[in-house]
């Protein structure tokens, strides 16, 4: 058998003699292909398991998460400020702002007069405004309150208005 021109004299014949069993060669190639497919599938499964049960966040979702983080931070600051209140002021504020009782109902629950509860609540709110860095009622400058501080103060102010209208 004569070798064609342009091929290395030994390369083709050496290859053919080394791979006499084409079936073994084919099984070797197939084993490598299957092994590569299993590795690819395993990498894909690992990636899928990392994000399983989670959904990707869009720009609006990220903004909401950031707002929640800020609100929680402000909420913790508000709780710390409330811990600094005298016991009576904290009790009235919690009953009005957290438990959503009217000032009259909070006064009855604490066994004090309604007028005393309103004054105590006013002092508690003034202390929280000062702790939050908000201007006092007498101040002409109107700096915006944080959301959580404003929510507590607005809830207690609304309950004062409700108790006055009921009385």
Q: What is the mean pLDDT of each run of 10 residues along the chain (167 residues)?
A: 53 55 87 94 90 77 90 87 90 91 93 94 91 61 49 55 49
SS3 at position 155: helix
- DSSP letter (8 states) at residue 111: T
Q: What is the pTM of this model?
A: 0.46
Query: What local confidence, expressed as pLDDT, does residue 143 receive?
Result: 42
Query: What local confidence, expressed as pLDDT, does residue 142 receive?
Result: 41
Query: What local confidence, expressed as pLDDT, does residue 74 receive?
Result: 85
Query: What local confidence, expressed as pLDDT, does residue 33 receive?
Result: 94
Q: Work out the angle at residue 146's Cα, subtended by the Cα atoms of residues 67 and 161, and round it to the nearest 5 degrees.
A: 120
């Amino acid at each position: 058998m004569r070798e064609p021109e342009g091929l290395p004299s030994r390369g083709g014949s050496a290859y053919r003699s080394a791979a006499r069993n084409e079936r073994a060669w084919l099984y070797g190639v197939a084993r490598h292909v299957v092994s590569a497919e299993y590795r690819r599938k395993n990498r894909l499964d690992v990636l899928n398991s990392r994000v399983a049960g989670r959904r990707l966040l869009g720009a609006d979702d990220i903004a909401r998460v950031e707002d929640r983080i800020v609100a929680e931070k402000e909420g913790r600051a508000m709780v710390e400020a409330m811990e600094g209140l005298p016991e009576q002021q904290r009790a009235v504020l919690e009953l009005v702002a957290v438990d959503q009782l009217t000032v009259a109902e909070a006064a009855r629950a604490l066994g004090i007069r309604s007028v005393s509860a309103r004054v105590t609540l006013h002092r508690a709110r003034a202390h929280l405004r000062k702790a939050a860095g908000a201007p006092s009622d007498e101040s002409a400058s109107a700096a915006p309150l944080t959301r959580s501080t404003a929510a507590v103060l607005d809830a207690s102010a609304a309950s004062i208005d409700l108790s006055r209208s009921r009385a």
